[in-house]
Structure 1
Amino acid sequence: METILEINQLHKNYGALTAVDRISFQIKKGHVYGILGPNGSGKSTTLGMVLNVVNPTSGDYTWFEGNTSNHDALKRIGAIIERPNFYPSMSAVQNLELVCKIKNIDPSKIEEKLTVVDLLSRKHSPFKTYSLGMKQRLAIASALLNDPEILILDEPTNGLDPKGIRQIRDIIQQIASNGTTILLASHLLDEVEKVCTDVVVLRNGKMLYSGPVGEMNRNHGSIFIDAANRDALHEFLKDKPYAGSITKHDDGLEVKLYEDVDNAQINKDAFESGIILSKLLHKKQSLEDQFIELTNQN
């Protein structure tokens, strides 16, 4: 599978502050990648470096398997790393025509891209009449004008209401379904979970994880279990290969799972050990739980 972007030990200092600390990862063609982390984790600085607007302190990166210069690579990339900046009194079409002129792009695709972001019916409306979500969608249309092989978005849903967030999410999924590789930075865990196939997790500039979203944490969730004789239940669980840490609560025991296990099998094993379970609930760990657990590690 073609490598769109390869980052190798990329590092950025601002004086004594380390914004990005020697991170390395690859972006493969056709995937949707999320750079996930709280504010100040280094997401925007990373995007700025690979888009040649921020100079790395050390390390390097290559676009399209190193077969093209950074200057030529930028012609194959669509990116939004700042707030949409269009002329307020000009319509969507007029603003996009100007973008085409500046970037030497054929303007024939303007209506096609406005259709993708569901703004065709408002193409003659002044930009100043647009909602925040519409402005963001117009920015995406602008980034799509050159039919990029990869679309880069920095916090694309920041400040939007739930309806606006869903619209942007649907657009991203539609663009990805047509084969465009996408790289988006976000602090919204739900956004990454619903949109991305792969994720890079940053904290204080350090990379904590890189890989498929579903494998971000190999924890298999927890079971909440109880029985009349909790001491016997605790002893029973200690010897099970699937049982990790066991935490006592007022209403039973919480057991971290090291591997997948069927509730029916747990119930059967307990019964054969003379333990009648009064509670057995399995809770899969959400991406939010995984992210918090990951970023709380030292």
Structure 2
Amino acid sequence: MESPILTIKNLHKRYGKVHAVNDVSLEIHKGNVYGILGPNGSGKSTTLGIVLNVVNKTSGEYNWFGGTMATHEALKKVGAIIERPNFYPYMTAQENLELVCKIKGINYSKVKEKLEIVGLIDRKDSKFKTFSLGMKQRLAIASALLNDPEILILDEPTNGLDPQGIHQIRDIIRLIASQGTTILLASHLLDEVEKVCSHVLVLRFGEILYNGKVDEMSNKSGYFELQSNDSQRLIEVLKNHTELESIKETEGKIIAYFKAQIDATELNKFLFEKGIILNHLVKRKLSLEEQFLELTNQ
């Protein structure tokens, strides 16, 4: 088996009294998409900052590519976008990327190839300042790919984007992964991690809550939004469901949480047999933020 691209062992980072990263360990293997998932302030960005050599660790260790090379050498094989992309507003997309090539000693031929991947080839001659936030983010990804990195690191890649922008970035991440690049991304969106990642490390207050494959993460935590013409009767009947965990009413909708996985068809049938006809039934998954609120409230 090849050595991991990145190995993190018992990493700690303290800022005064705050234990931002608390005993985090992780192995990243080639060809997978890893998510570091957690609400804001959970230590995701700090962890990325440490392995990218921009934040000093308090203790613990990490190494790139099996520890065969010094960190600064290894980082030449890493593509990363940590903060808002920094390009020259009056230069075109192509000129900005060519400048990056010049600084890093990369052949200009890569520019066109990477603009194709992020879907910006038809805007290569547009000035950066005319780009939407989503396009700026896509150009940043193209820039991080110029040196054909073995691993691409993204911190909250869809932050602040509209639904279309989010969708485009996620498609690009899938495309890059399908071409064999390993990806590590930090996100506070469970939905994002579920859609693009194969593995996930869940952090809360700097500590690991879960580390493993995405599809093995027990996700019973969902809820139903329901509406019928007789809310009181609906609530009474739901309370008789053996798997009901809790129920609440907000803005005319009934929100029902169940202990086990229940599908919408099953629930609809159960209610219909009790004489209740729904005019609204939606199954929703909890966002990670909500799951954490649930965890911390209990």
TM-score category, normalised to shorter length? 0.7 to 0.9
Distance change in 2, residues 1:141/1:16 (3 Å): same
Whether 1:111 and 2:112 are equivalent positions in the alignment is: yes
Distance in 1 between residues matched to 2:208 and 2:180, nearest whole Å: 27
Match of 2:102 in 1: 101
Which of 275, 281, 295 is the aligned partner of 1:297?
Answer: 295
Q: Secondary structure at the match of 2:55?
A: coil
Any conservation in 2 of the 1:208–1:294 contact (CA below 8 Å)? no
Separation in structure 2 between the aligned mates of residue 90 and residue 164 of structure 1, nearest angstrom = 22
Aligned to 2:68: 67
Change (3 A) 1:207 1:100: same
- 1:188 Cα deviation from its structure 2 partner: 2.0
For structure 2, the 5+ residue unaligned runs are 225-232, 250-255, 277-281
- Matched residue type, 2:218: N
Deviations 1:219-239 (CA, angstroms, capped at 9, x unpaired): 48789xx9xx99xx78xx6xx
Partner residue in 2 for 1:206: 207
Letter in 2 for 1:297: L
Tell me by how many angstroms 1:215 deviates.
Answer: 2.1
Tell me if the contact between 1:203 and 1:295 (Cα under 8 Å) persists in the aligned partners: no
Structure 1, residues 42-100: CA drift from partner, whole Å, max 9, x if none? Answer: 11111100101111011111111222221221011100001010111111111111111
**Aligned residues of 1:221 and 1:257 also touching (Cα < 8 A):** no
Q: Secondary structure of the residue that 2:5 maps to in structure 1?
A: strand
Partner of residue 270, structure 1 = none
Letter in 2 for 1:194: K
Does the 8 Å CA contact 1:208/1:295 hold for their aligned counterparts?
A: no
Distance 1:191-1:69 versus aligned 2 partners, 3 A rule? same
Rg comparison, structure with higher value: 1
Matched residue count = 281
Inter-partner Cα distance in structure 2 for 1:35 and 1:66: 22
Residue in 1 that maps onto 2:285: 286
Aligned-residue offset at 1:194? 1.1
Q: How does 1:1-298 map to 2 (within 5 A)?
A: 2=2, 3-217=4-218, 219=220, 256=258, 286=285, 288=287, 292-293=290-291, 296-297=294-295
Q: Percent identity?
A: 61
The AA in structure 1 aligned to 2:285 is S
1:25 Cα deviation (Å)?
1.5
RMSD: 3.5
Aligned in 2, Cα 1:295/1:105: closer, same or farther, shift over 3 Å?
farther
> Which 10-residue stretch deviates more, 27-36 or 146-155?
27-36
Q: For the residues of structure 2 that align with 1:182 and 1:248, how far apart are their CA atoms?
A: 39
Unaligned runs of 5+ in 1: 238-242, 268-275
CA distance in 1, matches of 2:123, 2:52: 31
CA separation of 1:287/1:35 partners in 2, compared to 1, >3 Å: closer, same or farther?
Answer: farther
CA separation of 1:278/1:197 partners in 2, compared to 1, >3 Å: closer, same or farther? farther
Question: Cα distance 1:248–1:100, how it changes in 2: closer, same or farther (>3 A)?
Answer: closer
TM-score when scaled to structure 2?
Answer: 0.79
Hey, what's the Cα distance between the residues in 1 that align with 2:132 and 2:219?
A: 41
Q: In the aligned structure 1, how far is the partner of 2:18 from the partner of 2:216?
A: 31
Structure 1 consecutive aligned stretches of length 4 or more whose deviation exceeds 6 Å: 220-223, 258-261, 276-279
TM-score normalised over the length of structure 1:
0.79
